[in-house]
Structure 1
């Protein structure tokens, strides 16, 4: 049987909701974006977070001296309702000591093609692209 996941989303006031994951972690959502991220912003964050976990994990297994990983995520939305994402681009900025480009390229590719369940789920309806840059750590 497939592993089940749960989340509870509870209305606070206005367009503010509190989401509690099945593991007990909380995040605030706000349809007006005044006190929390919107649900669509969290979709982008989830894609970037899921992919970043993969990339860092793969680079560490390859014994790369990574000191930082940032994923800048941009999404384009449809003009019509529902304003779904039509394109999402993930750009990874990897910082470290003598990090090999071939390992970063491989890590980003493996995340995109095999491991990131959020991106794999979204790619059925969204064009997802990836890029990366490497910065030498101080």
Structure 2
């Protein structure tokens, strides 16, 4: 990837268009938002693949990400809690617990930050 400076922040061109990144969200995505988004969406994508591989049908996956940052350490992201709401899945709690373990193990973004950011996951099933 290549990033170019603009008046406020930077940007990069991707196959999906221009991505603006800045410390001020009036000018683009804030870097911590992209970090958290990468962790959440990678996890969701892996979960989706696992559900499909196991032929477990579902209607929707919603992910809520709560972030804890430390203002005394340059606003470092210290913890991300991902809460998955899976709607319409015909699955039991104990099966979903195993899927959560596989999701964590196979998400490259979670594995990339595991030694520096605490990642916590939870889920709820809505039939």
User: What is the TM-score when the length of structure 2 is the normalising length?
Assistant: 0.88
Partner-residue secondary structure (3-state), 2:58: strand
Deviation digits for residues 95-136 of structure 1 (CA, Å, limit 9, x no counterpart): 124233233222221111x21111111110111111001112
**Aligned twin of 1:116:** 107
* 1:91 equivalenced with 2:83 (yes/no): yes
Contact 1:54-1:107 within 8 A present in 2 as well: no
Change (3 A) 1:62 1:102: farther
**Are 2:7 and 1:13 aligned?**
yes
**Aligned residues: CA RMSD:** 1.6
Q: Which residue of 2 aligns with 1:131?
A: 122
| Matched residue, 1:3 | none
Unaligned runs of 5+ in 1: 1-6
1:73 aligns with 2:62: no
Unpaired runs of 5+ residues, structure 2, are: none
Q: Is the 8 A contact 2:21 2:28 kept in 1?
A: yes
**What's the secondary structure of 1:66's corresponding residue?**
coil
SS in 2 for 1:32: coil
Contact 2:43 2:107 in 1 (8 A): yes
1:61 shift after superposition: 1.0
Tell me, in whole angstroms, the C-alpha distance in 2 between the residues paired with 1:90 and 1:97.
Answer: 19
- 1:43 is aligned to 2:35: yes
Cα distance in 2 between the residues matched to 1:64 and 1:72: 22
